[in-house]
């Protein structure tokens, strides 16, 4: 199977400190590929480099055979690469629905945002029930739900 996402010989530095050294990997279309390692191994740096948040010193990143090295994060998102960041990073001052709307602002997603919102609510009914609540209330309800399931 051909690579959907391909990383070739990526080097990333924070100042003089090298975070990634000649990292190469392939993610075939339709698969789940895991990157594992201890704290500080470079896992999050790799994701941030692919997302365009960090700029590698050298190496190449290709998505669907297109070189995306050097593109800005919003351009990379618009190509169809999404990210669920560490710590989840939702907007605490916005409601659940407003948080979802933020995700639908991408150019590639705007036309289908309403339909997509319906799909997301169908997949996560707990979000639909709390659409006007803050994310913190949603998280508390989710933990309560899990504790009751465990009891």
Partner 1 sequence: MLAIGRCLMGNPELIMFDEPSLGLAPLVVQEVLHTIRTLNANGITVLLVEQNVAVSLKISNHAYVLENGSVVMSGPGKDLLHDDRVRQAFLGL
Q: Which of residues 73-132 bind partner 1 (CB under 8 A)?
A: 77, 80-90, 96, 99-104, 106, 108-109, 112-113, 116-117, 119-120, 123-124, 126-127
Residues 11, 121: Cα–Cα separation, whole Å = 40
End-to-end CA, the chain: 44
Q: How many residues bind partner 1 (CB under 8 A)?
A: 76
48 to 77: interface string for partner 1, x by CB under 8 A: --xx-----------x-------------x
151 touching partner 1, by CB under 8 A: no
Q: Which is nearer to partner 1, 15 or 30 (CB)?
A: 30
Q: Are 133 and 96 in contact (CB under 8 A)?
A: yes
Q: How is residue 124 annotated by DSSP?
A: -
Q: Are 96 and 135 in contact (CB under 8 A)?
A: yes
41 touching partner 1, by CB under 8 A: yes
16 to 35: interface string for partner 1, x by CB under 8 A: --xxxxxxxx-xxxxxxxxx
Q: 62 forms bridges with which residues in the sheet?
A: 6, 67
């Amino acid at each position: 199977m051909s690579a959907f996402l391909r990383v070739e010989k990526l080097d990333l530095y924070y100042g003089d400190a090298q975070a990634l050294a000649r990292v190469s990997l392939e993610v075939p279309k339709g698969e789940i590929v895991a990157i594992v390692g201890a704290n500080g191994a470079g896992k999050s740096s790799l994701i941030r480099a692919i997302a365009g948040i960090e700029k590698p010193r050298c190496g190449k990143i290709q998505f669907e055979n297109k070189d995306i090295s050097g593109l800005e994060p919003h351009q990379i998102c618009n190509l169809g690469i999404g990210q669920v960041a560490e710590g989840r990073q939702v907007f605490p001052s916005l409601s659940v629905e407003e948080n979802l709307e933020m995700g639908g602002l991408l150019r590639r997603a705007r036309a289908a945002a309403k339909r997509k919102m319906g799909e997301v609510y169908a997949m996560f009914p707990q979000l639909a029930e709390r659409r006007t609540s803050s994310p913190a209330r949603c998280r508390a309800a989710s933990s309560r739900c899990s504790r009751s399931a465990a009891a």
